[in-house]
Structure 1
Amino acid sequence: MARLRAAVLRLAHGLRAPAERHDLTPSRLTALGVLSAHGPLRVGDLTHGMGFGMPSTSRLVDVLVTAELVGRGPKAASMRGSSGRSSSRSSRSATSS
């Protein structure tokens, strides 16, 4: 059992290390994954897809925009929010190690 635990911990660290080098927290990775899978989404739709609250998701998108990992699209016709999409930089960050 101890050998299995050690192997799992090494594997977890190996998977986490590339993301940490790019300052990608689990929530940032989740957001990028949802955007990559579903394409451009309004912040409210991203909120639903992630299971987070609207204020948390909005702050998260702001951080990702600042890091140039996502881009904001034009406001929707209803003017109730902007859409987010993953950037080419986020694809490179997620695949580089």
Structure 2
Amino acid sequence: MIKKMGVAWQLRLRMAERDMYSTTDLVPLLAERGVRLSREQVYRLVTAPPQRLSMDVLAALCDILTCTPNDLITVEVVNAQVAKEAGAAGGPPPPVQRSTIRRPPAS
């Protein structure tokens, strides 16, 4: 069995703890730290877990919110166990089921 892992992105919560409720509040604060992101980019950063995050952005967020990366990102198990793909365990492959194609009679 393989564990499926995920992350919980806590940026919105950390912002609320500091009375920051608008995503646009972050734009000038990030710019002060050399991180130039559009309002749309910051909105996506706040509202959804990023697939990729530069160290500069992470460091700036931690500085702005006086927190650590562990305060922003929580690793969690998404599914307790996920079955491996068939045949991946080294056992025999599943039997092949053959099919027959039949053509309708000619009229």
Greater RCO (CA < 8 Å, at least 6 residues apart):
2
Fold match (TM-score > 0.5): no
Larger radius of gyration: 2
TM-score of the aligned structures, taking structure 1 as reference length:
0.27
Higher helix residue share:
1
